[in-house]
A and B are shown apart, each in its own frame.
Chain A
Amino acid sequence: MARLPRVTATAPQREGRLPAVDEITSSNGSLRGFLHGLPGVDQVGVEGRAADLGTRSIKTTAKAFAIDLAIQMIDLTTLEGADTPGKVRALCTKAMHPDPMDPSVPTVAAICVYNDLVGIAKEALGSSGIKVAAVATAFPSGRASRAVKLQDTRDAVDAGADEIDMVIDRGAFLSGRYLEVFDEIVAVKEACGAAHLKVILETGELQTYDNVRRASWLAMLAGGDFIKTSTGKIQPAATPPVVLTMLQAVRDYREATGIQIGVKPAGGLKNTKDALKMLVMVNETVGSDWLDPDWFRLGASSLLNDLLMQRTKLATGRYSGTDYFTLD
């Protein structure tokens, strides 16, 4: 279910800062000029700030709140060549009942699968309200013709996907063909129809934080509803400074346009501490408007069980063994 980007009344809009998108994208040179005109990102500074936010001490009630929120933000993911209908059905059951012994545990936001398994997931999830996200556009490399990428997208949408996670053409981006990347996102967005579009930047291949900021803006200008760090197939993935840079981008974009864009770190989020660090960054960089599964997601698989273990520990004061939490 696509949501139109929401214009938040409280957003401090600073009109007139951003030229019209048509103007920015009138040529590759113009788009390059815009992206390279964004303020630089100092590597030492952004890493230092992310590390500093990582020292926040989240305890008791705050921890309970954050754990439940993190569970609700999870895109529970399986993206393996060995995925089967059985595996996907099992994952869907887990998504609906993360802890079968404790009905107070909220459900996750979505299931994320390859597009041939979308139908299976839709059927398994039924009316649970949990979304189905499909990776598309020749995921994870993105190395295919545009026709194939668009067909890939349409296949997923036709199968009932609520959300499409596309990859950008990193080759085009790194060689400076920004307009090509832009046009492709626009075309995929169109192919998405009513489905919600997440644009994967694959920040591990973009390497620099300047590139992360530029790619974030490129994806937002092209109409992505979400910007997502990684495919999960490349390391490093959702590192705190990368996510911080992307959060700054969505904050600045909303200030400039009034349009709110979501953020999805994916890959490398293993435990509760990782998730809490992400939520602290959201809280202190973009604020509570993004503390909502509609605007912030966590792409992960093993993270869920660690959140459940910490949740039980918080409630009972004791750690339970891994056998007390279900495999998916």
Chain B
Amino acid sequence: MGTPFDYAPAPESRAVVDLKASYGLFIDGDFSEAAGGGAFKTISPSSEEVLAEVAEAGAADVDRAVKAARTAYTRTWSRMGGRERGKYLFRIARLIQERSRELAVLETLDNGKPIKESRDVDVPLAAAHFFYHAGWADKLGYAGLGPDPRPLGVAGQIIPWNFPLLMLAWKIAPALAAGNTVVLKPAETTPLTALLFAEICQQADLPSGVVNILTGAGETGRALVEHPDIDKIAFTGSTEVGKLIQRAAAGTDKRVTLELGGKAANVIFDDAPIDQAVEGIVRGVFFNQGHVCCAGTRLLVQESVVDEVVHSLKRRLATLRLGDPLDKNTDIGAINSSTQLARIREMSQVGEDEGAIRWSAPCDLPDRGFWFPPTVFTGVSQAHRIAREEIFGPVLSVLTFRTPKEALEKANNTPYGLSAGVWTEKGSRILWMASHLRAGVVWANTFNHFDPASPFGGYKESGFGREGGRHGLAAYLKEQS
């Protein structure tokens, strides 16, 4: 759409972030080099610029971090009263708010997501998770797990690259509120906000060893999962790695919660509020470049309105602004890594080869960095791979249905079960769909909205265990009757 009203560049300033040339591991309250001296570079996916060098934790570092966490657990954190633990969590939450611009800019630099999302979604929600769980810390007896539920011990936590700080908050806040200590490994492509969070822990005077941050890749994660003194493993990431973790934990007394992939159905009935449903589709699959495990990547539209919905959707997608993630008017940022971009390209090619019709929003892609335009496949059926497999990118598959029963059957016909969306003005149909969909979260007339009080988690290959709400606390507590 050509318009004389071109928005001038409105970049958020990078000056608020004090990037260091290199970062160490955060163990027992201090930063240190990796024992083996290993390090790797983290880049900005929008420009391929090297942002910093980060230590790569090996087995010896993992052991040191787990020991520090164990000591902090037995000597300090598990003995501290809930009210005192709550004070630390409140302090951390406030510090996240105070340093929100810094965190948002750093997240956008390291991850590639638009600043408007890191500023308005990731960082405020991360703070909200700490506030929410701070409130629980001295009220655990009311969580439905007996009068005095006990913490598990040391939690090993591994988080993905799509919402680095937010996933850290989802993991650390409930663990700490319940009285556990943690060793957390951020994803290798997005370690920086976790390291800034480590500084926040120092600033909050959090006792040493309660939070340990180990940067590294798959091998670091494996060493953490296999460490014998870990009581609990919490993982968010791919189903493939989730299965490896489940195997590694088998035969041990480690508790496990897994939050894995998804292929969520977003179901549009013919009586849906179409304009808002189109916004919901956009939010469902193009939010965060589609790097969302609960993304609504399978659009199921009632046949009688499919032309109208697809027409409106394409018109809307043509207005999305793709480009510099630090520009405050950018809607679509960069793909997180070249590996992920290759996967998205490969799956899109598969879609074309299998006969689906590909349409991409008309937008210029920057020369440097990793980019993929918002893309819609129409004429997709359940038998297409792009309707079965998680793509984890800005790619939507449009399928149709004729009756509510067919919509439900198709929505449930997936190995995953993380989330689903229902769009209709009919309240009874929302309730019927919600009670029959096998998905951990069902959104009605909205999509991809999150709240710390609302439990999140999956069915089937999307994993097990819940994060957030009272249910999420159960993942970090031993019931005591």
> A42 and B3: CB pair below 8 A?
no
- CB neighbours of A284 from chain B (8 A): 319
Number of interface residues of A (CB under 8 A): 29
Bound Cα distance A39, B279 (Å): 14
Given A59-B10, A284-B319, does the pair A45, B273 have CB atoms closer than 8 Å? Answer: yes
| Also in contact, A45 and B445, with CB within 8 A (given A55-B116, A56-B329, A62-B8) | yes
Measured CB to CB, the nearest residue on chain B to A45 is B276
Nearest chain B residue, comparing its CB with the CB of A41? B273
Q: When the two chains form their complex, are residues B5 and A62 in contact, meaning their CB atoms are under 8 A apart?
A: yes
- Which residues on A sit within 8 Å (CB–CB) of B275? 39, 41, 45-46, 49, 248
Interface contact B4-A49, CB-CB below 8 Å = no
Q: Given A57-B329, A59-B10, A63-B8, A41–B2 Cβ distance below 8 Å? A: no
Q: Does A48 contact B (CB under 8 A)?
A: yes
- Residue A291 interfacial (CB < 8 Å): yes
- Known A-B contacts A56-B329, A57-B10, A57-B328; A283 and B276 likewise in contact (beta carbons under 8 Å): no
> CB-CB < 8 A to A58: which residues of B?
7-8, 10
Q: Are A55 and B120 in contact (CB under 8 A)?
A: yes
| A242 is an interface residue with CB less than 8 A from chain B | no
Main secondary structure of the interface of A (DSSP, over half): helix
A141 to B272, CA, bound (A): 34
A85 in contact (CB, < 8 A): no
Contact, CB under 8 Å: A65 / B445: no
**Which residues of the other chain, A, contact B445 by a CB distance below 8 angstroms?**
42, 44-45
CB distance from B272 to the nearest CB of A (A): 7
Residue A175 lies at the interface, judged by CB distance under 8 Å to chain B: no
* Given the contacts A56-B329, A57-B328, A39 and B3 also touching, CB distance less than 8 Å: no
Task: Given A45-B279, A55-B116, A55-B120, verify A39-B273 contact (CB < 8 Å).
Answer: yes
Q: Is the C-beta of A61 less than 8 angstroms from some C-beta in chain B?
A: yes
Which chain A residues (47-76) contact chain B, with CB distance < 8 Å?
48-49, 55-63, 65-66, 69
- B12 nearest CB neighbor, chain A only: A57
Chain B contacts for A60, CB-based, 8 A: 8
**A44 & B272 in contact (Cβ 8 Å cutoff):** no
- At the interface, yes or no: B49 with Cβ under 8 Å from chain A? no
> Which residue of chain A has its CB nearest to the CB of B116?
A55
B206 within 8 A of A: no
Contacts of B274 in A (CB 8 A): 39
Q: How far is the CB of A108 from chain B (nearest CB, A)?
A: 19
Q: In the assembly, what is the distance between CA of A106 and CA of B4, in Å?
A: 17
* Minimum CB–CB distance for B317 against chain A, Å: 12
Q: How far is the CA of A287 from the CA of B315 in the complex (A)?
A: 11
What separation, in Å, do the CA atoms of A74 and B211 have in the docked complex? 58
B1 within 8 A of A: yes
Say if the beta carbon of B98 comes within 8 Å of chain A: no
Q: How far is the CA of A55 from the CA of B319 in the complex (A)?
A: 15
For the complex, is B6 an interface residue (Cβ under 8 Å from A)?
A: yes
Binary contact readout A242-279 vs B (1 if CB under 8 angstroms, 0 otherwise) = 00000010000000000000000000000000000001
Closest CB-CB distance, B302 to chain A, in whole Å?
Answer: 12
Binary B-proximity of A14-45 (CB < 8 A = 1, otherwise 0):
10000000000000000000000001111011
Complex interface bits, A283-296 against B, C-beta within 8 A gives 1, otherwise 0: 11001100100000
Task: List which B260-314 residues lie within 8 A (CB) of chain A.
Answer: 271-277, 279-280, 311
A46 to B276, Cβ gap below 8 A?
yes
Q: Is B446 engaged at the interface, CB distance under 8 Å to the other chain?
A: yes
B425 interface contact, C-beta 8 A: yes
Within B1-50, which residues are at the interface with A (CB < 8 Å)? 1-10
Question: Which chain B residue lies CB-closest to A213?
Answer: B275
Give the A-B pair count, Cβ closer than 8 A. 79
Residues on A with C-beta less than 8 A from B446 are: 44-45, 48
User: Cβ of A283 and Cβ of B3 under 8 Å apart?
Assistant: yes
Residue of A nearest to B279 (CB): A49
- Residues on A with beta carbons closer than 8 Å to the beta carbon of B4: 65, 288, 291
Number of interface residues of B (CB under 8 A): 28
Contact with A along B304-337 (1 / 0, CB 8 A): 0000000100000001000000001100000000
Does A279 contact B273, Cβ atoms closer than 8 Å?
no
Question: Closest residue to B425 on the A side, CB-wise?
Answer: A40
Q: In the docked arrangement, what's the CA distance between A119 and B380, Å?
A: 64
Q: Which residues of A contact B276 (CB under 8 A)?
A: 41-42, 44-46, 49
Which residue, A40, A59, A287, A291, has most C-beta atoms of chain B within 10 A?
Answer: A40
Q: How far is the CB of B179 from chain A (nearest CB, A)?
A: 37
A212 to chain B, nearest CB (A): 12
User: Are the C-beta atoms of B1 and A288 separated by less than 8 Å?
Assistant: yes
User: What chain A residues lie within 8 Å of B280 (beta carbons)?
Assistant: 45
The CA-CA distance from A55 to B328 in the complex, in Å, is: 8
Q: In the assembled complex, which residues on chain B have CB atoms less than 8 Å from the CB atom of A288?
A: 1-5
Query: Does B116 contact A279, Cβ atoms closer than 8 Å?
Result: no
Complex CA–CA separation, A58 to B10 (angstroms): 7
A45 contacts which chain B residues (CB < 8 A)? 273, 275-277, 279-280, 445-446
Cα–Cα, bound, A288→B328 (Å)? 21
Give chain A nearest CB distance to B135 CB in angstroms: 26
- With both beta carbons as reference points, the residue of chain A lying nearest to B115 in the complex is identified as A57
Interchain CB contact (< 8 A) of B5 among A46, A48, A248, A279: A279
Cα–Cα distance between A205 and B189 once the two chains are bound (Å)? 53
Measured between alpha carbons, how far is A287 from B1 in the docked complex, in Å?
7
Which residues on B sit within 8 Å (CB–CB) of A49?
Answer: 275-276, 279
| Complex-state Cα separation, A214 to B271, whole angstroms | 16
- Give the contacting residue for B8; candidates A61, A287, A291; CB below 8 A: A61
List the A residue with the shortest CB-CB distance to B307: A14
CA A57 to CA B120, docked complex, whole Å: 14
Within 8 Å CB of B8, what residues of A? 58-63
CB of B396 to closest CB in A, whole Å: 18
Q: If the complex has contacts A39-B275, A40-B425, A44-B445, are A287 and B120 also in contact, measured as CB distance less than 8 A?
A: no
State the CA gap A16–B279 with chains docked (Å).
26
Contact B3 A287 (CB under 8 A): yes
Q: In the complex the two chains form, is A57's CB within 8 Å of B7's CB?
A: yes
Residue on A nearest B423 in the bound complex, by CB: A42
Q: Which residue of A14, A42, A55, A59 is within 8 Å of B273 (Cβ)?
A: A42
**Minimal beta-carbon separation of A154 from chain B (angstroms):** 39
A33 to chain B, nearest CB (A): 15
In Å, the complex CA distance between A291 and B2 comes to 12
Whether A62 touches B273, Cβ cut-off 8 Å, given contacts A45-B445, A48-B279, A284-B319, is no
Q: Of residues 53 to 95 in B, which have CB atoms within 8 Å of A's CB atoms?
A: none
Ordered by A's residue number, 26 sampled pairs between the chains whose C-beta atoms are within 8 Å are A14-B311, A39-B271, A39-B274, A40-B272, A41-B273, A41-B275, A42-B425, A45-B275, A48-B446, A49-B275, A55-B120, A56-B7, A56-B328, A57-B329, A59-B7, A59-B9, A63-B8, A65-B5, A66-B5, A248-B275, A283-B3, A283-B5, A284-B319, A288-B2, A288-B5, A291-B4
Q: Which 3 A-B pairs have the closest CB atoms?
A: A45-B276, A57-B10, A288-B3
Q: Which residues of A come within 8 Å of B, CB atoms?
A: 14, 39-42, 44-46, 48-49, 55-63, 65-66, 69, 248, 279, 283-284, 287-288, 291
Given contacts A49-B279, A55-B116, 16 further A-B contacts (CB under 8 A): A40-B273, A40-B425, A42-B445, A45-B276, A45-B445, A48-B446, A55-B120, A56-B7, A57-B7, A58-B7, A58-B8, A59-B9, A62-B5, A288-B2, A288-B4, A291-B5
Q: Which residues of B contact A (CB under 8 A)?
A: 1-10, 116, 120, 271-277, 279-280, 311, 319, 328-329, 425, 445-446
